[in-house]
Amino acid sequence: MNPEEGKLLCKMYLDTIQQEAETTKKVIRAIPDDQMSYKPDPKSKNAHELAWHIASSEVWFLDSIIAGSFSMGEPPAPPPTISGIIEWYDSKLKDRVNMLKNLPGDKLASPVSLFGVMELPAVAYLNMCTLHGAHHRGQLSTYLRPMGSKVPAIYGGSADEPMNM
């Protein structure tokens, strides 16, 4: 991959990340404050933990791409409220997106190892970030109705938020 291709992919992936983030915030925002500890199974994360995993891991992916390496540290402590997670996510994501927009093409095209499991151009991990977030957002969306909430439209209408034609 050359630097120009890295910049083009970065723009395309960041546009997608910003669009997906709005949907992610809708799903997280739908968690009722009094149901944050809900989980469908003892092996599952509760709603608060899963919302935090989505938000913090997306920021971790972006930080890792900016740094040019992946490392596992403890994620920051989660905000105690759903609105706190949304505020943290929104602010951190905007900051990281701006930093990535300014990253040189050669850095975006440089190969980066993900813990020795795979090695891809740094920019390719933006796609993995989106896929990881969509996977967990799908999990979280299945929690909403049993918690007494409404399921927002994600990639089309839902029973609670029909698609307007």
- What would the pLDDT profile of 74-106 be if each residue is shown by its tens digit? 889 999 999 999 999 999 999 999 999 999 999
pLDDT at position 105: 97
**Is the predicted pLDDT of residue 165 greater than 90, yes or no?**
no
The pTM for the full model equals 0.94
pLDDT at position 137: 97
- What would the pLDDT profile of 108-123 be if each residue is shown by its tens digit? 999 999 998 999 999 9
pLDDT at position 73: 86
With helix as H, strand as E and coil as C, how does the chain read? CCHHHHHHHHHHHHHHHHHHHHHHHHHHHCCCHHHCCCCCCCCCCCHHHHHHHHHHHHHHHHHHHHHCCCCCCCCCCCCCCHHHHHHHHHHHHHHHHHHHHCCCHHHHHCEEEECCCEEEECCHHHHHHHHHHHHHHHHHHHHHHHHCCCCCCCCCCCCCCCCCC
- What would the pLDDT profile of 22-79 be if each residue is shown by its tens digit? 999 999 999 999 999 999 999 999 999 999 999 999 999 999 999 999 998 888 999 9
**Which among 54, 52, 58 has a CA at the least distance from the CA of 80?**
52
pLDDT at position 44: 97
Domains and CATH numbers, the chain: 3-147 (1.20.120.450)
